[in-house]
Amino acid sequence: GEDVEQSLFLSVREGDSSVINCTYTDSSSTYLYWYKQEPGAGLQLLTYIFSNMDMKQDQRLTVLLNKKDKHLSLRIADTQTGDSAIYFCAETSGGYNKLIFGAGTRLAVHP
Amino acid sequence: KAGVTQTPRYLIKTRGQQVTLSCSPISGHRSVSWYQQTPGQGLQFLFEYFSETQRNKGNFPGRFSGRQFSNSRSEMNVSTLELGDSALYLCASSSTSGNNEQFFGPGTRLTVL
């Protein structure tokens, strides 16, 4: 069935790198996404990766995809306090625009 | 380009009432999807509309319904509200080309008393 799993909490020091991990089940997913949600706000699309790619870099963000293990990760370089938020991994399922989300990883950045 | 807008931002209703939420997608986007976010169940897909037709549906009871107008604006309706319907309802719009990026609005916070 459709399922996306993420660890629930990550704490890092300001300036360090953060790595948020995600596993998914739908091998037919065409795209995989990372969204960020700040308190009281909607979801902000951070980046996405096409299923035939292994890696995508976008400024401080690096996405790695291991399709064999159905594992996705998001690395944030030089993490700042403004990066504190909940990060959601999502896969497309059943075609069209149905997204299946993980439970979200709360990233806490401390000085 | 203006983002996705949702109205109202906050709503308080009582059990048994019905509610209508509105979503205006990004100009040029023809697909609108709705999601429910709760602390217990997380983010769950409700349905998607494209060109005024429901194209995909999640596992929600028939009390949850929606529609889309010719200008791509969408509404969702929840009838006979239950306490468990209290949630943040998020709308996302997407263009029909490219990588299916979905852009979310700020959400409508519904509280059922």
pLDDT at residue A97, as a whole number: 81
Residues of chain A that touch chain B, judged by Cβ-Cβ distance less than 8 Å: 30-31, 33, 35, 41-45, 48, 50, 88, 90, 92, 94-104
Asked whether the beta carbons of B26 and B93 are under 8 A apart, the reply is yes
Most A-contacting residue of B26, B33, B36, B45 (CB-CB within 10 A), to test interface: B45
Q: Residue A29 — pLDDT band, cuts 50, 70, 90?
A: confident
pLDDT beyond 70 at A95: no
Tokens matching residue A111: 């000085």
CA-nearest of B60, B59, B91, B93 to B78 is: B60
Distance separating the N- and C-terminal Cα atoms of chain B: 37
Strands A105-110 and A85-92 come out as: antiparallel
Q: Examine the pLDDT at A90 and tell me if it is beyond 60.
A: yes
Q: How far apart are CA B88 and CA B70, in angstroms?
A: 26
Q: Which amino acid is at B105?
A: G
* Chain A partners within 8 Å of B92 (Cβ): 43, 97, 99
CB contact under 8 A, A48 and B90: no
